[in-house]
């Protein structure tokens, strides 16, 4: 749903006003008032412009006259026997600036009788003489359109509409709206206040309504009542079915979709490459093949590229923000402003990297960590050329926000939380390990169940990939336990980025910038509940083509060995950063949720209870993903320039989808059990017991998961009393079938898909969807800048291998370890690009809706459901108090760690901005 809030005061009051009787022979053109002075513009028969004061309180209607001139007459309806309605809408605005041309044209249309009309549709009575279709009332017109003050910013306006009451209509179940104006408006709601026998009737609309000539059928909106497919009132069935046909695009010609099209359809990821720019920018199509399977995205219908008829052409940068998604999926004006700032800060999309390097001068490295700290404490001076370019292409206020210049050429960033209290604690082994439990990617650590760690890669293809970590490496680091004892006591854990990377590593290391390793990191659980790293294995493909070569590093705190250990941890962080961004984040939230959104809109009516349940969790996701395909995950985009898989980034994520994504395992309890981080325990509060009790992501996550599941269970059980009701609900079955066979069509034959035959399967599936879109995404996304905004803590690229003794690099590591570290990890340019990107991605917009919140208090008429919703919000509120209390518990060392950074990523609510907390309803950024 779209939601707008605006508090700006317009400098110009442009008000449509009421016209006086027209001078003889004049025809009305437009009525306006400037700063409160009512005027009307008229054109005489001779074409001369006239002005007059105007007075009008009701819409005008036009009747054809016998003369060559049409006459305008007022048709005042009687106030007797009326149903009074209030319609809330927002007139067309574009990025907070009113479209003056649209306003004038709308005024002309009002004066000429081309207004906004509404007709009520009966929910209870049909017309036997018309095929038992619903009774439809007479048109009623929106009143005072041209006299209603419209500010220069998006703001709600309430209009009166009076319907002639016809007892044959009975209780309205829907209404038809027809927009005869020249521009669209955002329709928020309609409320009828005095319906005989019913009282108040409310319609939640939340949709853009375009001029009637853009639609094949007039728009229809339903009341906030909820009906299963089989329970739909007879008169509404036709309208319910026709609405789904429209949303599926069954009656829309193939080709490029227009902004007013309301089509939800599927497409492959065939728009990531730009083959017309050369082979360097060609990328494989993801989806539709066994080699590169992928979830589907929303169809745009853009034309093919010239060199590859199967690839969709990209858009220019500024147009990419307006790429097609169904209009109601587009950002509100506040979110759009955020994305424009994001696009401008992603400088790699404005200039080519070599041009940027020239503008930034020849300084490609940070010379020391003090240079990095200047990004927050004083800023780094930008060359004149870059500032001139940005200043000439960017509004002044945006420049001020982007560069915080205040007259100086300084690029300055907010201080990340990870160094706010202590600038060096990030270096510690304890913090390195803690972030696997409470950091940016706390979903990859596993319990070690065999030693040495084995590989699941095919030996016939990759040879022996078994870990080279042996007993001698770790025996003295287990607090007196043997390896077998440590495994049996659930004391050994592993962060394994070996099997996922090894098949791609040779190709990745042949790219211009990257020199990386596959990695395995072993950790030991100490008696105080914290983890300590005890060995890191870095591996490369064997030069002979089969097997691998490995080096094992162990902790050291003295001499060059301590610097080597610090670099080993950096290589691990680089692998974890790439896996986080491309798999944990993009694939497992953004990509997998989009086909759910498409299937829901195509197969579940807005009247269906499951549509109402899931809809808040889809807000902004399709628009975010569409823009990301143009500027973030595309060929040459931000991710390819800032994470180590480079040009193979999205291809690699496809292989991860193929090998590891299983829908039922997205449930948090099952994920924890699969990774060995928890065991089933019926006596535990959530049915599982954590093997690391102080595992902040899991501890808070299980509380959120339980709250979501309780809410979903109460909701679904209210509408589906039996398994048979699930089985016989035609819309529900069509939805689940299409989600599997179309949305995730490359995995349609997997045996693990729920069959959707029971209420429990419905509850579990909806809980997984809501969890993924809300809490899981929040935990993975909003810590990006708090943890990764300090690039030394979460570097994303390695440019050279571990220095070997006897080389200049090794001597540099001994004599100037900071310089050696910084010349190994992400260079300055990519660092700035990455920081600029994740700063925006980590921010909450001012119009954010958090878990449990709705943009309307009247989204349903079912009081038991409204009470269950309130209980859900109260439970989340109590969890906020729980998180705060646990973060103050000194015994729970992983809650804050050496960096003294409380774990709040699963704290349900937040203020706007960069907060490191808050769970939005949806994948909204």
Q: Distance between CA 254 and CA 742 in Å, rounded?
A: 18
Task: Give the pLDDT score at 34.
Answer: 32
Asked if the model's pLDDT at residue 460 lies above 90, the reply is yes
Q: Distance between CA 66 and CA 82 in Å, rounded?
A: 33
Q: Distance between CA 324 and CA 262 in Å, rounded?
A: 10
Task: Give the pLDDT score at 144.
Answer: 74
Q: Which contiguous run of DSSP H or E holds residue 524? A: strand 518-525
As to burial, measured by CB atoms within 10 angstroms (0-12 exposed, 13-18 middle, 19+ buried), residue 528 is exposed
In order, the DSSP letters of 387-404 are HHHHHHHS-HHHHHHHH-
Asked if the model's pLDDT at residue 2 lies above 50, the reply is no
Q: What are phi and psi of 489, to 5 degrees?
A: -90, 10
DSSP assignment, residue 34? E
- Check: CB of residue 797 under 8 Å from CB of residue 514: yes
Of the listed ranges 229-243, 346-360, 859-873, the one predicted with least confidence: 346-360
Task: Give the pLDDT score at 321.
Answer: 79
Q: Distance between CA 389 and CA 411 in Å, rounded?
A: 14
Report pLDDT digits (tens) over 497-521.
Answer: 999 999 999 999 998 889 999 999 9
Dihedral, CA of residue 752, residue 758, residue 760 and residue 763, to nearest 10: 90
Report pLDDT digits (tens) over 194-214.
Answer: 899 899 999 999 999 999 999
- The count of other CB atoms within 10 Å of the CB of residue 414 is 16
User: Does residue 135 have a cis bond before it (omega within 30 degrees)?
Assistant: no
Report pLDDT digits (tens) over 155-175.
Answer: 788 899 999 988 888 999 999
Task: Give the pLDDT score at 388.
Answer: 62
Q: Which contiguous run of DSSP H or E holds residue 716? A: helix 696-719
Mean pLDDT of 300-317: 94
Task: Give the pLDDT score at 98.
Answer: 45
Confidence of residue 93 (pLDDT cuts 50, 70, 90): low
Task: Give the pLDDT score at 103.
Answer: 56
Confidence of residue 57 (pLDDT cuts 50, 70, 90): very low
Q: Distance between CA 100 and CA 107 in Å, rounded?
A: 11
Q: From residue 787, how far is each of 532, 628, 783 by CA, in Å? A: 19, 22, 6
Q: From residue 134, how far is each of 116, 216, 239, 605 by CA, in Å? A: 22, 20, 9, 18
- Check: CB of residue 518 under 8 Å from CB of residue 502: yes
Confidence of residue 553 (pLDDT cuts 50, 70, 90): very high
End-to-end CA distance of the chain, in Å? 15
Task: Give the pLDDT score at 554.
Answer: 98
Report pLDDT digits (tens) over 380-415.
Answer: 665 565 556 555 544 454 455 445 444 444 567 899
Q: Distance between CA 529 and CA 494 in Å, rounded?
A: 16
Q: What are phi and psi of 850, to 5 degrees?
A: -100, 165
DSSP assignment, residue 807? S
Give strand pairing partners of 690.
Answer: 678
Mean pLDDT of 721-737: 98
Which tokens hold the place of 403?
A: 């560069």
Task: Give the pLDDT score at 338.
Answer: 62
Residues, the chain: 925
Task: Give the pLDDT score at 732.
Answer: 98
Mean pLDDT of 608-629: 97
More confident position, 348 or 714: 714
- Check: CB of residue 659 under 8 Å from CB of residue 502: no
Which tokens hold the place of 108?
A: 């002309």
Dihedral, CA of residue 141, residue 142, residue 145 and residue 151, to nearest 10: -160
Asked if the model's pLDDT at residue 350 lies above 50, the reply is no
Q: Which residues are tagged catalytic?
A: 585, 590, 777, 781, 925
For residue 195, give every residue at least 6 positions away whose Cβ sits within 8 Å of its Cβ, in sequence order, or none. 83, 171, 172, 201
Confidence of residue 736 (pLDDT cuts 50, 70, 90): very high
Report pLDDT digits (tens) over 424-446.
Answer: 999 999 999 999 999 999 999 99
Give strand pairing partners of 380.
Answer: 411
DSSP assignment, residue 858? T
Q: Distance between CA 797 and CA 783 in Å, rounded?
A: 19
Task: Give the pLDDT score at 6.
Answer: 36
As to burial, measured by CB atoms within 10 angstroms (0-12 exposed, 13-18 middle, 19+ buried), residue 478 is middle
Report pLDDT digits (tens) over 123-132.
Answer: 989 888 877 8
Which tokens hold the place of 863?
A: 């009081």
Report pLDDT digits (tens) over 751-785.
Answer: 999 999 999 999 999 999 999 999 999 999 999 99
Q: Which of 673, 617, 650 is nearest to 853 (CA)?
A: 617
Q: Distance between CA 807 and CA 810 in Å, rounded?
A: 5
Q: Distance between CA 291 and CA 533 in Å, rounded?
A: 36
Mean pLDDT of 270-298: 97
For residue 694, give every residue at least 6 positions away whose Cβ sits within 8 Å of its Cβ, in sequence order, or none. 437, 529, 530, 891, 892, 893, 894, 895
Report pLDDT digits (tens) over 12-30.
Answer: 232 333 333 333 322 223 3
Confidence of residue 104 (pLDDT cuts 50, 70, 90): low
In order, the DSSP letters of 478-503 are STT--HHHHHHTT-EEEEEESTTTHH
> DSSP H helical segments within 188-268, as ranges?
234-248
Considering Cα of 799, then 805, then 806, then 809, what sign does the dihedral take? Answer: positive
Q: Which contiguous run of DSSP H or E holds residue 553? A: strand 548-553
Give the side-chain half-sphere CA count within 13 A for 796: 32
For residue 737, give every residue at least 6 positions away whose Cβ sits within 8 Å of its Cβ, in sequence order, or none. none
Mean pLDDT, the chain, integer: 85
Q: Distance between CA 40 and CA 19 in Å, rounded?
A: 6
- Residue owning tokens 């349900």: 908
CA angle 249–253–257, rounded 5-degree value: 70
Give strand pairing partners of 298.
Answer: 266
Of the listed ranges 363-372, 391-400, 540-549, 801-810, the one predicted with least confidence: 391-400
* Displacement of CA 476 from its chain's centroid (Å): 46
Asked if the model's pLDDT at residue 869 lies above 80, the reply is yes
Confidence of residue 109 (pLDDT cuts 50, 70, 90): low
């Amino acid at each position: 749903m779209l939601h707008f809030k605006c508090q700006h005061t317009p400098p110009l009051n442009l008000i449509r006003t009421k016209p006086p009787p027209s001078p003889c022979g004049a025809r009305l053109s437009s009525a306006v008032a400037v700063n409160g002075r009512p005027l009307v513009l008229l054109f005489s028969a001779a074409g001369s412009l006239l002005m007059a004061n105007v007075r009008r309180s009701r819409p005008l209607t036009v009747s054809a006259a016998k003369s060559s001139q049409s006459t305008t007459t007022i048709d005042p309806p009687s106030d007797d026997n009326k149903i009074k309605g209030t319609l809330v809408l927002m007139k067309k605005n574009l990025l907070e600036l009113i479209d003056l041309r649209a306003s004038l044209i709308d005024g002309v249309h009002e004066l000429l009788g081309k207004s906004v009309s509404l007709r009520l549709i009966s929910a209870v009575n049909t017309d036997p003489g018309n095929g038992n279709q619903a009774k439809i009332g007479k048109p009623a017109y929106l009143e005072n359109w041209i006299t209603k003050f419209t500010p220069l910013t998006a703001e709600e306006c309430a209009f009166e509409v009076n319907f002639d009451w016809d007892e044959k209509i009975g209780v309205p179940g829907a209404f038809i709206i027809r927009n005869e104006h020249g521009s669209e408006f955002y329709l928020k709601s309609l409320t009828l206040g005095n319906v005989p026998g019913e009282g108040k009737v409310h319609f939640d609309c939340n949709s853009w309504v375009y001029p009637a000539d853009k639609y094949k059928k007039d728009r229809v909106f339903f009341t906030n009542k909820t009906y299963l497919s089989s329970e739909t009132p007879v008169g509404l069935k036709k309208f319910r079915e026709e609405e789904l046909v429209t949303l599926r695009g069954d009656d829309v010609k193939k080709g490029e979709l227009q902004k007013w099209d309301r089509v939800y359809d599927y497409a492959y990821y065939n728009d990531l490459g730009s083959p017309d720019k050369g082979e360097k920018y060609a990328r494989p199509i993801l989806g539709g093949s066994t080699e590169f399977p992928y979830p589907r995205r929303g169809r745009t219908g853009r034309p093919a590229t010239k060199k590859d008829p199967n690839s969709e052409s990209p858009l220019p940068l500024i147009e990419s923000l307006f790429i097609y998604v169904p209009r109601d999926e587009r950002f509100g004006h506040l979110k759009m402003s955020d994305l424009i700032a994001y696009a401008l800060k992603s400088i790699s999309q404005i200039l080519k990297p070599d041009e940027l390097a020239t503008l930034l001068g020849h300084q490609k490295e940070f010379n020391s960590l003090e240079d990095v700290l200047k990004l927050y404490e004083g800023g780094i001076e930008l060359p004149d050329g870059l500032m001139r370019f940005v200043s000439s292409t960017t509004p002044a206020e945006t420049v001020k926000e982007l560069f915080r210049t205040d007259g100086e050429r300084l690029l300055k960033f907010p201080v990340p939380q990870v160094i706010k209290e202590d600038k060096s604690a990030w270096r510690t082994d304890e913090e390195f390990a803690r972030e696997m439990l409470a950091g940016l990617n706390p979903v990859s650590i596993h319990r070690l169940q065999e030693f040495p760690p084995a590989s699941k890669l095919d030996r016939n293809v990759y040879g022996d990939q078994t870990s080279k970590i042996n007993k001698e490496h770790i025996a003295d680091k287990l607090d007196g336990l043997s390896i077998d004892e440590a495994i049996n006591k659930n004391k050994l854990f592993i962060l394994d980025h070996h099997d996922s990377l090894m098949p791609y590593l040779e190709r990745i290391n042949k790219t211009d910038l990257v020199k990386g390793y596959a990695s395995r990191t072993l950790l030991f659980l100490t008696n105080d509940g914290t983890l300590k790293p005890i060995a890191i294995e870095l591996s490369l493909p064997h030069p002979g083509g089969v097997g691998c070569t490995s080096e094992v590093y162990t902790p050291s705190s003295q001499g060059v060995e301590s610097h080597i250990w610090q670099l080993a941890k950096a290589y691990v962080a680089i692998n974890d950063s790439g896996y986080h961004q491309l798999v944990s984040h993009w694939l497992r939230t953004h990509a997998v949720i989009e086909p759910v959104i498409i299937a829901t809109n195509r197969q579940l009516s807005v009247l269906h209870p499951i549509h109402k349940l899931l809809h808040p969790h889809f807000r902004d996701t399709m628009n975010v993903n569409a823009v990301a395909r143009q500027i973030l995950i595309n060929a040459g985009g931000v991710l390819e320039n800032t994470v180590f898989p480079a040009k193979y980034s999205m291809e690699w994520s496809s292989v991860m989808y193929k090998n590891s994504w299983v829908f039922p395992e997205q449930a948090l309890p099952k994920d924890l059990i699969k990774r060995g981080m928890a065991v089933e325990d019926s006596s535990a509060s959530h049915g599982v017991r954590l093997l690391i009790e102080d595992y902040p992501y899991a501890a808070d996550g299980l509380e959120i998961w339980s709250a979501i599941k309780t809410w979903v269970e109460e909701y679904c059980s209210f509408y589906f009393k039996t398994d048979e009701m699930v089985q016989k609900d035609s819309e529900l079955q069509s939805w689940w079938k299409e989600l599997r066979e179309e949305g995730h069509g490359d995995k349609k034959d997997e045996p693990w898909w729920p069959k959707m035959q029971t209420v429990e399967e419905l509850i579990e599936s909806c809980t997984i969807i809501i969890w993924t879109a809300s809490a899981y995404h929040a935990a993975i996304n909003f810590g990006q800048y708090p943890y990764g905004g300090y690039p030394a803590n979460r570097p994303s690229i390695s440019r050279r291998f571990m220095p070997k003794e006897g080389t200049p690099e090794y001597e540099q590591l001994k004599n100037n370890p900071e310089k050696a570290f910084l010349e190994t990890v992400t260079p300055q340019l990519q660092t700035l690009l990455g920081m600029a990107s994740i700063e925006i991605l980590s921010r909450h917009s001012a119009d954010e809706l958090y878990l449990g919140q709705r943009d309307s208090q009247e989204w349903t008429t079912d009081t038991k459901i409204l009470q269950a919703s309130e209980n859900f919000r109260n439970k989340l509120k109590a969890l906020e108090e729980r998180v705060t209390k646990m973060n103050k518990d000194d015994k729970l060392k992983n809650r804050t760690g050496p960096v003294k950074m409380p774990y709040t990523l699963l704290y349900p609510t937040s203020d706007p901005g960069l907060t490191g907390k808050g769970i939005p309803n949806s994948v909204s950024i």
